[in-house]
Amino acid sequence: MDRFYIITNTMKDRELMVTRKIAEYLTSHGKVCRVRDVAGEDRSGDYHYTDADQIPDDTECILVLGGDGTLLQAARDTVEKGIPLFGINLGTLGYLAEVGRKGIYPALDHLMEDRYEIEHRIMLNGKVYRRGVLLKEDIALNDIVISRSGAPRVVRFNNYINGTYLNSYSADGIIIATPTGSTGYSLSAGGPLISPAASLLLMTPLAPHTLNSRSVVFPSDDTITVEIGPGRDEREEHGMASFDGDTTVEMVTGDKIIISKSKKDTRIVKISNISFLETLREKMGNN
């Protein structure tokens, strides 16, 4: 790789000291490295964190400095570019970022010497409808969460697979996750861990009002529809759909969100093909 672009979470590298050192290291080896210009971004643009229009089309790798949350936002903002992302963790241990501060320079050497692999991670596409009218469409790398809003009471969620009724949950919410997202919110709600290389969709109820609810795994070519059901005495309930914990859209009884595998994917640069297992072992404390 010869041409790089850096996206930095300025909350974790406030003075851009790490960012500048990386840029200097790459340029000292004859590589091209551009750094995201926060001041030059048009904040009225349709993006979450990074203006992808600033990224040169000939960029070969986007270095994302921050943590898993930063990488999630970068993935959504740059998906149309199709440029591989490499995560550098400046916070606590995550699953997406490939290396921490101590491993930065050896990792850069790997990238410059083309000693890496590209991992394709599936993404979700979600479309929210109200009485047949599209309210919002967005994508997610980790998960789409449909949850209650307003009063602290459970909501009925009616679930359909490929148009056929599956079940209903009375719960705080429903998490539809990718394998990448199986290590996130779904895991904390009792969902299983899935290898990020898999092509599956995971449905996990969030605090279900029952004793026997479990996560369900579906093939990635299935379409999942979640409908906000009526409340007690047929009153209108309020909920929301959240894309990767960022973009949200309000929903009410009768609204539906149709979720399927996105035609776009996220490309993650890996310099170690066992890094997911290593991170998993460290997270679980099994050394």
* pLDDT value at residue 42: 56
pTM of the model: 0.90
List residues with catalytic annotation.
68
Residue type, 157: F
CATH superfamily of 124-263: Probable inorganic polyphosphate/atp-NAD kinase; domain 2 (2.60.200.30)
Q: How confident is the model at residue 47 (pLDDT cuts 50, 70, 90)?
A: low
DSSP 192: P
- Domain borders along the chain are 3-116+271-284, 124-263
Question: In the prediction, which pLDDT does 235 show?
Answer: 80
What mean pLDDT do residues 89-117 have? Answer: 88
Output phi, psi for 90, to 5 deg: -105, 10
**Per-residue pLDDT at 283:** 63
pLDDT score at 128: 98
Torsion angle (degrees, nearest 10) of CA 265, 267, 270, 273: 30
Split at pLDDT 50, 70, 90, the class of 37 is confident
Asked if 260 and 125 count as a contact pair (C-beta separation under 8 A), the reply is yes
pLDDT range class, residue 280, cuts 50, 70, 90: low
Selected residue with higher pLDDT from 159 and 235: 159
pLDDT-wise least confident of 35-39, 82-86, 126-130: 35-39
**What confidence score (pLDDT) does residue 279 get?**
64
For 115-135, the pLDDT digits (tens) are 999 999 999 999 999 999 999
pLDDT in tens, 236-264: 889 999 999 989 999 999 999 999 999 99
Q: Rounded CA gap, 5 and 1, in Å?
A: 11
Query: Counting Cβ atoms within 10 Å, is residue 54 exposed (0-12), middle (13-18) or buried (19+)?
Result: middle
CB 142 within 8 A of CB 244: yes
What does the mean pLDDT of the chain come to?
89
What CATH number matches the domain at 3-116+271-284, 3.30.200.20, 3.40.50.10330, 3.20.20.140, 2.40.128.110? 3.40.50.10330
